[in-house]
Amino acid sequence: MKKIQINSFEDYRQQYQESINNPEEFWGGIAENFNWHKKWDQVLDWNFDEPKVEWFKGARLNITENMLDRHLNTLGDKKAIIWEPNEPGHSPKTYTYQELYDAVCEFANALKSQGVQKGDRVCLYLPMIPQLAIAVLACARIGAIHSVVFAGFSASALADRIQDAEAKMVITSDGLRRGVKEVPLKSVVDEALENCSSVERVIVFSCLNWNIDMQEKRDIWWNDAIRNQAGPCPATSMDAEDMLFILYTSGSTGKPKGVVHSCAGYMVYTAYSFQNVYQYQPEDIYWCTADIGWITGHSYILYGPLLSGATSIMFEGIPTYPDAGRFWEIVAKYKVNQFLTAPTAIRSLMGAGDEHVEKHDLSSLKVIGSVGEPINAEAWHWYHDKVGRGQCAVVDNWWQTETGGIMISGLGNFSPQKPTYAGYPLPGIQPVLLNQDGTEIEEADVEGYLCIKAPWPSILRTTYGDHERCRVTYFSHYKGYYFTGDGAKRDADGMFRIIGRIDDVINVSGHRFGTAEIENAINEHEQVVESAVVGYPHPIKGQSIYAFVVCDDEIPEEEKARIEIKEVVAKQIGKIALPEKIQFVSGLPKTRSGKIMRRILRKVAEGDVSSLGDTSTLLDPAVVDEIVQKAL
Ligand code: WT7
């Protein structure tokens, strides 16, 4: 057995070398830390051509036994989850490992009695309440595949995801309250299910005590479903490579894809990366502010921390409710030791004034993390100086839904820090920078395409229902490499700086959207003929969405049309994807072959029209003049 936790930078250097020289021995040793029904016949078998990646081949396990049962003897009374509600006046709720185990078994039994079987897909559309954690683990307990959909997506986006996964069940609540906003989740589900024939049952948790419509035969209240279901639920024995979950994410093409993670590799890597990046110690209180609707919440609120026997805080609310001191109040209240949030939250709280931070005692903090988008120098320094009081390591975690776990980051408080640089690759991770032509860049400080050369345990296995799409998207750009879609550079010490997406993906407040996905939504508006969407820098959100829209007629009232277009986007995707700027144009800049020149639109959106570059290949250069003149 190999110990998981690295404890110095020299140790990191040595572990890294070992992991690269002999990955099978390295990960086999780490995997010995977990409980298995049957050990593996082979640690790793792979090729990036199909692609096919198998870790711990032949092994059998259940991930929830490693998160719950394994800890009961020693940590039964330890807090697993501390839930902090949206309303500061409401009581928090805690679950010890024993209580969480009991709740998960009870709900797993309920799922089985409602007809859910191993391999069935279950869609979770819930607020950040303990029932979401319980439902995720209950699915994993019985080998059902969870697909969590962030509760900010619209009925139409939810329906797409349910249909693609052919989910048999949806678990939701009457509604949610986030800050002062309310969302009627059950009505959204009802609307989505008008077009989803695979769903047989809907389990509804009463979160706000609303009186809602329940469809007889299809809908059942959570509390009715768990009646008489208390007691143990044997954990279903899973093959190492059985699917654990699907999580939908956006890419360059229109339809979101279902990223698939499998049981054993995801387990080993989320626990390993959590314990190393956050240097979690047994008495620590850890808090990640993400939503479980995104991969960060899956890997670093639930799986990684609970596999490690940690105490993980789950927060229902938002950073600015009731005021911009809420995060810091919670840190002080629970004496949080490790804190992880997104740059967009850091920037917005930075703008709210230092008094909100200074009011609270943040001396418990040891490691503070940033995740989801590049963190700019100003936000890094504010986070480091004000929140970390100059005494905490800032760990900048670069990774993706597809990578399952953190790939490049500082480790706790011993790796060197450099603002705007994410840091070093974790053991087992082999990032390279490629030129356009696919050769590896060896020199320092040169920008290239960030790719990964060899598999790590939590790499995605496929995109649900369409393996070819997985191959084309991630493994066909450069033969033998996983293509991340990000541009990056590396300094002379080997530290990586992530520049941002090089494909048609926009990152708004850490939420990922494909330009085509938003364009498709805008084009649903009756008067819209076509549109092109680009991202542009935004001081708080990181990026914002700028839409160039061609309509079939003159638009008499542009403001009205803008509101309507936003409504269409909210309906198709959700309010999280609204374009900030909408410019009506008479045509889009296209090449003779009909390709939209986004480079030009990006420049216009950035307000930098001094150098539009070569426009000679444009079909009609006059449209560019018009676009520039009328730019917002
Ligand atoms: C994309 C992945 C990481 C989990 C949450 C987002 C960007 C993510 C960083 C970072 C710079 C980052 C990349 C990446 N990104 N973390 N620390 N520094 N950029 O997961 O929704 O799959 O998005 O987010 O562009 O490709 P995701």
Q: Evaluate whether 300 touches 290 at the Cβ level (below 8 Å).
A: yes
Widest distance between CA atoms in the chain: 74
Per-residue confidence band for 65, with pLDDT thresholds at 50, 70 and 90: very high
Task: Tell me what the mean pLDDT of segment 498-512 comes to.
Answer: 93
| Window from 338-352, 552-566, 603-617 with minimum mean pLDDT | 603-617
Helix axes 622-629, 598-606, angle to 10 degrees: 20
Extract the runs of DSSP E, i.e. beta strands, from 103-155.
121-125, 145-148
| pLDDT tens per residue across span 240-277 | 999 999 999 998 777 899 999 999 999 999 999 999 99
Nearest 5°: phi and psi at 413? -105, 20
Per-residue confidence band for 553, with pLDDT thresholds at 50, 70 and 90: confident
Q: What is the mean pLDDT of the chain?
A: 96
106 CB less than 6 Å from ligand 1? no
409 CB less than 6 Å from ligand 1? no
Listed residue (344, 259, 337) closest to 299, CA to CA: 259
What is the predicted pLDDT for the residue at 620? 86
Listed residue (358, 356, 370) closest to 324, CA to CA: 356
| CA-based torsion, 324, 327, 328, 330: positive or negative | positive
- What residue ranges define each of the domains in the chain, with the CATH number in brackets? 97-236 (3.40.50.980), 507-631 (3.30.300.30)
The CB density around residue 3, as the number of other CB atoms within 10 Å, is 12
- Return the HEC string of 483-523: EEEEEEEECCCCCEEEEEECCCEEEECCEEEEHHHHHHHHC
- Specify burial of residue 209 (Cβ count, 10 A radius: 0-12, 13-18, 19+): exposed
Pocket test for ligand 1, best of 299, 370, 371, 450 (most atoms within 8 A of CB): 371
486 CB less than 6 Å from ligand 1? yes
**476 C-alpha to ligand 1 centroid (Å):** 21
Q: Evaluate whether 424 touches 12 at the Cβ level (below 8 Å).
A: yes
Nearest 5°: phi and psi at 527? -85, -10
Write out the H or E segment, with its range, that includes residue 433.
strand 431-434
Ligand 1: nearest atom to the Cα of 396:
17
Distance CA 586, CA 596 (A): 14
Distance CA 13, CA 8 (A): 9
507 CB less than 6 Å from ligand 1? yes
Q: Evaluate whether 268 touches 27 at the Cβ level (below 8 Å).
A: yes
**372 C-alpha to ligand 1 centroid (Å):** 4
> What's the one-letter identity of residue 396?
D
How many angstroms separate the first and last alpha carbons of the chain?
Answer: 60
Per-residue confidence band for 513, with pLDDT thresholds at 50, 70 and 90: very high
Residue 536, beta-bridge partner list: 544
Closest C-alpha residue for ligand 1 atom 20 = 400
What is the predicted pLDDT for the residue at 615? 79
| pLDDT tens per residue across span 5-53 | 999 999 999 999 999 999 999 999 999 999 999 999 999 999 999 999 9
Task: Tell me what the mean pLDDT of segment 149-162 comes to.
Answer: 97
Omega of the bond prior to 457 within 30 degrees of 0, cis?
Answer: no
Q: Is the pLDDT of residue 303 over 80?
A: yes
> What's the one-letter identity of residue 456?
W
| Residue corresponding to tokens 């609120």 | 301
Residue count (the chain): 632
**414 C-alpha to ligand 1 centroid (Å):** 23
Per-residue confidence band for 296, with pLDDT thresholds at 50, 70 and 90: very high
Ligand 1: nearest atom to the Cα of 422:
17
Torsion of CA 49, 55, 59, 62, to 10 degrees: -110
56 CB less than 6 Å from ligand 1? no
What is the predicted pLDDT for the residue at 551? 94
Kind of pairing between the strands at 257-262 and 243-249: antiparallel
422 CB less than 6 Å from ligand 1? yes
pTM of this structure: 0.96
**399 C-alpha to ligand 1 centroid (Å):** 5
Closest C-alpha residue for ligand 1 atom 23 = 400
